[in-house]
C-alpha cells in the first residue's frame, strides 16, 4: 500500500467515528430531551413577574443573582436554567411560553429578560404564547447576538463545524472534561471593586465565583447552543414592547457591538436600545452599573 494512502485511511476512520458520535448524541437528545426548569422563585410587589432566562453556559440562579434585589423592587422573580442533553430551542421555548400563559391567567404582567442566548430563547418563545398581548407581555434582551458575524468569540472554523455536526462531535464524557477546562474568567481591569474593599481580595472572590459558575456544564448542551446561535433566524413579533441593552466598549469581547444591536433594531424598528460600557452580561464583575441600568429602565 502506498504511503500516501495511510493518512487518507486515518482521516476516513476519524470522520466516520465523528459522524457516529454525532448521530449517537442526537439520538441521546431525543431520549433525554432538553428542557428548562425553575431554579429560583421569589414573590415580589405588584402584579408583575420577571422571567429570567440565562445565556450560554449559565445557570439562571447564578448568572442573575447579582440583580435579584433590583428586580424584586419591581415585581416577582421566576428564574430558569437549562437541563437535559443538548439544547432544543423549540422544546425550551414552548416551556417558557406555557409559563408565560400561566402567569397571565393569574393577572400578572410578564417581562421576559433574556441574557445573550437567553434573548434568542425569549424571542422565540413569543411564537407559542396564547394569552399574551402588548399590555401584559414585554421583552428585554441583554447583549443578544444576531448571527455568527456578531459573535466575536466564535472562530469561523467552529461555525463551519457546527454546520457539519449538529450533534456534539465528540463523546460527552470527553467533551464535558474539555469544556470544564475552557473557563474564561473575568479580566481584572474590568472588575468594579466597591469602595473600601481590597481590590485583590475582591477579584479573587469574583474569580472563584465565576469559575464555579462556568463549571459542571454539558458539552452536548454547549454545542447545541452554539448551533442555535449560528443557524437560528428569529421570528418577528413587532406587537410587543422590545428593549435591548448592549454592552459596549473593549470589555465586551464576546458580542460585536453595535453590529448586533443594529441588526435587532432593523428587525424591530420600534425597539428601544440602551448602551452600557460593560463586559458581556457582566452582572457579576460589574454589578453596580447593571443595577443602575435596570433601575433606570424599570422605574420608568
What φ, ψ does residue 85 adopt, rounded to 5°? Answer: -95, 140
Q: So what's the pLDDT on residue 148?
A: 86
Q: So what's the pLDDT on residue 164?
A: 59
**Across the chain, what does the average pLDDT equal?**
84
Mean pLDDT of 12-30: 51
Q: Which of 15-24, 37-46, 143-152, 274-283 has the highest mean predicted lDDT (pLDDT)?
A: 274-283
* Domain spanning 1-300, CATH class: alpha beta
Q: Which helix (H) or strand (E) covers residue 289, if one does?
A: helix 287-298
Lowest mean pLDDT among 157-161, 211-215, 218-222: 157-161
Q: So what's the pLDDT on residue 105?
A: 92
Q: So what's the pLDDT on residue 42?
A: 87
The grid cell for 139 is: 421583552
Give the Cα separation of 242 and 123 in Å (integer). Answer: 10
Place of cell 415580589: 44
Q: So what's the pLDDT on residue 6?
A: 46
Looking at per-residue confidence, does 69 or 19 come out higher?
Answer: 69
CB 236 within 8 A of CB 185: no
Q: Which helix (H) or strand (E) covers residue 211, if one does?
A: helix 199-213
Give the Cα separation of 86 and 71 in Å (integer). Answer: 30
Q: Does pLDDT of 9 surpass 50?
A: no
Give the Cα separation of 248 and 41 in Å (integer). Answer: 31
Give the Cα separation of 259 and 112 in Å (integer). Answer: 23
Buried b (16+ CB within 10 A) or exposed e, 266-298: ebbeebebbebebbbbbbbbbbeebeebbeeeb
Mean pLDDT of 84-91: 84
CB 271 within 8 A of CB 160: no
Q: Report pLDDT digits (tens) over 136-193.
A: 999 999 999 998 889 887 766 666 666 656 665 565 666 676 677 766 789 999 999 9
pTM for the whole thing? 0.86
Q: Report pLDDT digits (tens) over 237-282.
A: 888 999 999 999 899 999 999 999 999 999 999 999 999 999 999 9
Amino acid at each position: 500500500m502506498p504511503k500516501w494512502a495511510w493518512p487518507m485511511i486515518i482521516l476516513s476512520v476519524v470522520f466516520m467515528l465523528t459522524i457516529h458520535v454525532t448521530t449517537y448524541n442526537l439520538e441521546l437528545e431525543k431520549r433525554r430531551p432538553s428542557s428548562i426548569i425553575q431554579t429560583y422563585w421569589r414573590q415580589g410587589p405588584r402584579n408583575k413577574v420577571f422571567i429570567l432566562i440565562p445565556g450560554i453556559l449559565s445557570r439562571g440562579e447564578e448568572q442573575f443573582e447579582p440583580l435579584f434585589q433590583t428586580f424584586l423592587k419591581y415585581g416577582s422573580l421566576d428564574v430558569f436554567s437549562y437541563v437535559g442533553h443538548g439544547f432544543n430551542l423549540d422544546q425550551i421555548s414552548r416551556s417558557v411560553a406555557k409559563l408565560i400563559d400561566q402567569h397571565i391567567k393569574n393577572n400578572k404582567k410578564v417581562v421576559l429578560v433574556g441574557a445573550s442566548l437567553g434573548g434568542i430563547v425569549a424571542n422565540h418563545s413569543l411564537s407559542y404564547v396564547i394569552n399574551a398581548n402588548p399590555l401584559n407581555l414585554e421583552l428585554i434582551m441583554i447583549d443578544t447576538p444576531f448571527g455568527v458575524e456578531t459573535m466575536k468569540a466564535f472562530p469561523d472554523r467552529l461555525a463551519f463545524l457546527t454546520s457539519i455536526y449538529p450533534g456534539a462531535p465528540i463523546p460527552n464524557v470527553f467533551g464535558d472534561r474539555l469544556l470544564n477546562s475552557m473557563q474564561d474568567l473575568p479580566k481584572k481591569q474590568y472588575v468594579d471593586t466597591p469602595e473600601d474593599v481590597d481590590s485583590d481580595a475582591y477579584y479573587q472572590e469574583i474569580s472563584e465565583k465565576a469559575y464555579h459558575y462556568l463549571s459542571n456544564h454539558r458539552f452536548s448542551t454547549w454545542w447545541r447552543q452554539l448551533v442555535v446561535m449560528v443557524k437560528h433566524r428569529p421570528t418577528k413579533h413587532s406587537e410587543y414592547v422590545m428593549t435591548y441593552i448592549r454592552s459596549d466598549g473593549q470589555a465586551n469581547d464576546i458580542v460585536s457591538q453595535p453590529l448586533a444591536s443594529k441588526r435587532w433594531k432593523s428587525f424591530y424598528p420600534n425597539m428601544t436600545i440602551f448602551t452600557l460600557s460593560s463586559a458581556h452580561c457582566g452582572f457579576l464583575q460589574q454589578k453596580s452599573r447593571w443595577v443602575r441600568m435596570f433601575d433606570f429602565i424599570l422605574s420608568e
